[in-house]
Amino acid sequence: MWIANNWKDYEVIDCSCGEKLERWGNYTLVRPDPQVIWDTPKKEKGWKHMNAHYHRSKKGGGEWEFFDLPEQWSIHYGSLTFQLKPFSFKHTGLFPEQAVNWDWFSDKIRSAKRPVKVLNLFAYTGGATLAAAAAGASVTHVDASKGMVTWAKENAASSGLSDAPIRWIVDDCVKFVEREIRRGNHYDAIIMDPPSYGRGPKGEIWKIEDSVFPLIKLCAQLLTDKPLFFLVNSYTTGLQPAVLRYMIATALEKYDGTVTADEIGLPVSSNGLVLPCGASGRFEGK
């Protein structure tokens, strides 16, 4: 398992009964997590003194209960600063487990000793975009949500990256890739963090089981002759690491490199165990 264990401003303190107790900077949140199927004693004081609690509804969705939490606050990861705020369906605007991938591809970019163009699809609030830009890459950031792209720009400003070579695009990711192929554009590296289910800005339906492999094959056409890396993340239970590895190896078989895949996780500080948080597949060019 690839573990995001370099955080100072974030930690999973404990997890039990379908929920996790987390510290985000100076604030503790309790949020649901479907992986937490165990029932262990809630001994940590944060369980009784949290700043906010997201309650799942049996009818689907849920809502936040706030005790003492600002509308927005920030946390840091290395040189990066992220603006956080609780919003719909338990999210805060950041997936901290992805830091293990940020560290991996940042090292790849820094050691490349050449200009690196990165395409980040389903780019959300820009965690991977900012990590790549801070490492020296020029990045094209694509997300279907205008609000998320605006949030990513705020994170770039907070991280001192307002003037970094980042192209901000609000678009359906598949349609953008198809246009880039027609334009003859190419990238040295591609990152994608597709949702299990979603809709594009014009109602385009995305279902990961049906759509992710065709998109990976399309993206392979955008790669340069010697790609640096290709990263696919999944939070869908059915897409195990071996499935990600198979898809990437098949779509990128003409390129010289290595394909690996594994679960990603976060350490639990109270007991030394690791909370699984999805999976990632990686291609590394030689």
Q: Report the candidate in 186, 171, 188 with the shortest Cα–Cα distance to residue 121.
A: 171
Q: Is the dihedral of CA 261, 149, 99, 120 positive or negative?
A: positive
Quickly count: other Cβ atoms within 10 Å of residue 66's Cβ: 12
- What is the full DSSP assignment across 135-204? TT-EEEEEES-HHHHHHHHHHHHHTT-TTSSEEEEES-HHHHHHHHHHHT--BSEEEE---SEEE-TT--
pLDDT of 99: 98
pLDDT digits (tens, 9 = 90+) for 21-57: 999 999 999 999 999 999 999 999 999 999 999 998 8
The residues, ordered by sequence, that sit 6+ positions from 112 with a Cβ below 8 Å of its Cβ are 188, 228
Question: Would you state the pLDDT for residue 65?
Answer: 96
For residue 262, give every residue at least 6 positions away whose Cβ sits within 8 Å of its Cβ, in sequence order, or none. Answer: 1, 2, 241, 279, 280
The angle formed by the CA atoms of residues 63, 193 and 126, to the nearest 5 degrees, is 75
Predicted pLDDT at 111? 97
Domains of the chain: 5-70 (2.60.40.1180), 94-283 (3.40.50.150)
pTM of the model: 0.94
Spell out, as residue ranges, where the chain has pLDDT lower than 50.
none
Q: Are 264 and 98 in contact (CB under 8 A)?
A: yes
What is the rounded CA–CA span in Å between residue 171 and residue 144? 5
pLDDT, position 200: 66
Q: Output the DSSP codes for 239-263.
A: S-HHHHHHHHHHHTTTS-EEEEEEE
Token pair recorded at residue 29? 């949140």
Give the integer Cα–Cα distance in Å for 28 and 17: 17
Cβ contacts of 115-120, under 8 Å, gap ≥ 24: 115/188, 116/188, 116/189, 116/228, 117/186, 117/187, 117/188, 117/189, 117/224, 118/187, 118/188, 118/189, 118/190, 118/191, 119/180, 119/187, 119/189, 119/190, 119/191, 119/219, 119/222, 120/190, 120/191, 120/192
